[in-house]
Amino acid sequence: MKITNVTAYPVDDGKPALFVVVDTDAGLSGVGEAGATPQMLAIATYVEAHLKPFLLGEDPFRIEHLWQRMFRGGFFPGGNVVSSAVSAIDIALWDIKGQALGVPVYELLGGRARDRVVCYPHNGGGTIEQLVESCLRTKEQGWKFVRFSPNTAGNLFEPARAVRESIKMVEAVRNAVGEDIEICFDVHTRFDPADTIRFCRAVEPYHPFFIEDPLRSENAASFHHLRRHVSVPLAAGEQYTSKWEFRELIENDLIDYARTDLCIVGGITEAKKVAGWAETHYIKLATHNPLGPVSSAACLALNLACNNVGVMEQPQQPGTALTNVVPVQMTWEDGYLLPPERPGLGVVFDREAAARLPCHPVPRDHLHREDGSFTNW
């Protein structure tokens, strides 16, 4: 079997996404998904202009070999754009191999370590009352987790004010949903260390499952300072593009949950290595998955096959987004994703529908402070 084509599909079906299809001369095609969607056009160009020439005529079963060739082929480390492109192709190769062998991808990763994977949705609201209503709705639907972030009003973000409001948000949600629902709070890298320490200490009595991205990701050493001053569980890593970027957080036990994004970190191949490394430090996976159904399928395959899994991000129930482009998606039941029975990733990608829904990204608004300076999105 040989690779005959690689095609990128930037689409918008109510939600922007970048899919990549790898075709073979055996009639099998695999689909992957790329992260870092604000840069999706650059990623799509890199897939077709730079990686496709490496891949044509290659054996799609040699996944590790092709990963190394793609990752190292440009000599200079590529960052989010290159790693997201590699990720999408890597996921598609695993999809092809599973289809060719007639088994789901999780069987290729060692088989099921669990029967289902617990996941959390996205909650929110312009007011604390609306946030509480959102969390109660998801509880009624069967979700076991809620997740929310600091509020932003008209792209205005004042950290001290946001800390005070966020503490009230966590308190109100805990009082509303009770002790049996887990709370994940995503700082989204918007706080500096002093603000994060104040926030984490204040919400400790409400037993959050984890505080996500409590600091900016550029300086992993800042987590040493944070870890010395807080005791709540910490989660980070969604912006990391390889196992090497996880090194400091894992080796120094600075996080409790690895927020590995399979569509940025290098696909299933690299995410499996991060998972094994994290297991030696008793760090669990909390796979980052704000994307589409192909990302969900890849995360599910990895989480089914790994022992050290805490929770999987799943913004909404499968079958509620990008259904024109991916008409067959994962199965959700009572807060869990269930193992697919179809071979490969278990999803169906409609490339004709994707071609009819091209995405034209628009500039993203920046968060700013009252003095006009920018802060993290």
Describe the chain by its helix, strand, coil percentages, rounded to 5: 40, 20, 40
Which residue ranges in the chain fall short of pLDDT 70?
A: none
Q: What is the pLDDT of residue 251?
A: 97
Look up tokens 């700013």; give the residue: 368
Number of residues assigned to the chain: 377
Other residues' Cβ atoms within 10 Å of the Cβ of residue 131: 23
Q: What is the pLDDT of residue 374?
A: 85
Q: What is the pLDDT of residue 101?
A: 98
Distance of alpha carbon 149 from alpha carbon 166, whole angstroms: 8
Q: How far is CA 49 from CA 16, 115, 302, in A?
A: 22, 41, 29
pLDDT in tens, 332-362: 999 999 999 999 999 999 999 999 998 887 7
Q: What pTM did the predictor assign?
A: 0.97
Q: What is the pLDDT of residue 269?
A: 98
Give residue limits of the domains in the chain.
3-102, 107-343
Q: What is the pLDDT of residue 354?
A: 95
Q: What is the pLDDT of residue 246?
A: 97
Percent of the chain at pLDDT above 90?
88
Q: What is the pLDDT of residue 78?
A: 76
- Sequence-ordered strand ranges (E) for the chain: 3-12, 16-24, 29-34, 117-120, 145-148, 182-186, 210-212, 234-236, 257-258, 284-285, 312-313, 331-333, 336-338, 367-368, 374-375
Angle at 176 (CA atoms; ends 285, 163), nearest 5 degrees: 65
Superfamily of domain 107-343: Enolase-like C-terminal domain (3.20.20.120)
Distance of alpha carbon 106 from alpha carbon 34, whole angstroms: 20
Pull the structure tokens for residue 223: 């987590």
Please state which architecture CATH assigns to domain 3-102.
2-Layer Sandwich (3.30)
Other residues' Cβ atoms within 10 Å of the Cβ of residue 256: 21
Other residues' Cβ atoms within 10 Å of the Cβ of residue 218: 8
The residues carrying an active-site annotation are 188, 288
- Burial (CB count <10 Å: 0-12, 13-18, 19+), residue 161: middle
Distance of alpha carbon 30 from alpha carbon 23, whole angstroms: 7
Q: How far is CA 79 from CA 72, 248, 359, in A?
A: 12, 17, 23
Distance of alpha carbon 257 from alpha carbon 310, whole angstroms: 7
Distance of alpha carbon 372 from alpha carbon 377, whole angstroms: 14
Angle at 265 (CA atoms; ends 293, 301), nearest 5 degrees: 45
